[in-house]
Structure 1
């Protein structure tokens, strides 16, 4: 399993609230590899999308080594501790050779899997 990028700090709720208020950096990375991405909502409130990058064990060919994102929720609606627990479960799946997004999605087709207008035909009809 490829080593992911990690920060040096484990952030608390107050650390994230302060970071959201500062309006400086748009991204923050913690010691677990959890990335916080600032989001400004239409009503002016700020939240942070929590996600993690990983390399899928199923990627091959031109997609080999390409990073995927696994969403762990939105701060403050979802907890940082809950996101860290999701990362532990995700790491266990990756160790078994299972892609966490595929496991969570239950095998439903994704864009580019040949389903819908974005599929193999690029939106063109075969007629």
Structure 2
């Protein structure tokens, strides 16, 4: 796959993720190591996270249907969390798997405990 194409796709994914996701949410993921990647012959963006629910890599790949496929990868393996994600859904889907979970009240209590602890 053409390196310039992969780099452009990775840059677009990063720009969409950062512009469509609240900064506080992005910060809660402990993101580092953004890199362009190819996974399953799909161009994408890979980055390391240190979330409350998941620690490892997030891979966001553009598929042939103009949707994103989102994978979580760590020492236990790689799992697809969704294979039809629109650009404006990336932050919410990733956050629910690596940081906040699906129980918003439980996560709010967790955050309150963290604030009162500090």
TM-score by length of 2: 0.33
The structure where helix makes up a greater share of residues is: 2
TM-score by length of 1: 0.32
Between the two structures, name the one with larger relative contact order (CA 8 Å, sep ≥ 6).
Answer: 2
